[in-house]
Amino acid sequence: NFIIKRGCRKAYKIFTVSNFSKERIVAWSGVNPNKIVTVYNGVSSLFNADVKPLNLGYKYLLCVGNRKTHKNEKCVISAFAKADIDPSIKLVFTGNPCNDLEKLIIQHGLSERVKFFGFVSEKDLPSLYKGSLGLVFPSLYEGFGLPVVEGMACGIPVLTSLTSSLPEVAGDAAILVDPLSEDAITKGISRLINDSELRKHLIQKGLLRAKRFNWQNVVSEIEMVLTEACDGNK
């Protein structure tokens, strides 16, 4: 930590992926905020509205995660169990199950409705997004939250958190919920599935929002800072 803090203080500029992360770096390291440059992540062109949707043989909501506690997956499962939606709709997680989630799934009687897809390559992930009814991503903490933008770019509605960097990334193009409130997530899931006008609105807004996060912008913004640094050393 000492070495990293020292590096932050000595650096000409520090790049980070969100204003939320910038604020965290300032609070942690004590550096001047003007030294930190926010450059949002780009989303791969593989994630786009023309992707062929994956057909799993059933309707599903998608939760992209990795079983880490901050992904809030226990709350997602409990909220899904109570959501007022068609009971044939399933909840699909990327990755493999863990014991805690398996126990919770059994406890809620969801063994037939919650599925784990296993490892998903970047090549296959866009089709998994596109085939879903929407992304459910009420994470407790994200420095950026790439799945939000990936889902929007694929033309699906997104539910995410009103905490950390997620409101900054999602803007007004997603359903924002309190990730600590199971009831809020439940209501959000129900709205995402049942409100057809809202779905249409979120998809349109999301496609526009996702265009802001492209790698050409990333390159241009970093190049500008590096050019400034080089000019300053002449």
The one-digit pLDDT tens for each residue of the chain (234 residues) are 788 899 999 999 999 999 999 999 999 999 999 999 999 999 999 999 999 999 999 999 999 999 999 999 999 999 999 999 999 999 999 999 999 999 999 999 999 999 999 999 999 999 999 999 999 999 999 999 999 999 999 999 999 999 999 999 999 999 999 999 999 999 999 999 999 999 999 999 999 999 999 999 999 999 999 998 888 654
Distance (Å, rounded) from C-alpha 192 to C-alpha 159?
A: 7
Residue matched to tokens 């994956």? 54
> What is the pLDDT at residue 2?
84
Residues in the chain: 234
- Domain parsing of the chain, residue ranges: 1-40, 60-210
Tokens at 176, concatenated: 């924002």
CATH top class, domain 60-210 = alpha beta
- Secondary structure, 3-state, 68-137: CHHHCHHHHHHHHHHCCCCCCCEEEECECCCHHHHHHHHHCCCCCCEEECECCCCCCHHHHHHCCCCEEE
Distance (Å, rounded) from C-alpha 74 to C-alpha 43?
A: 27
Collect all residues with Cβ–Cβ distance below 8 Å to 32 and sequence separation of at least 6. none
> What is the pLDDT at residue 231?
80
> What is the pLDDT at residue 234?
46
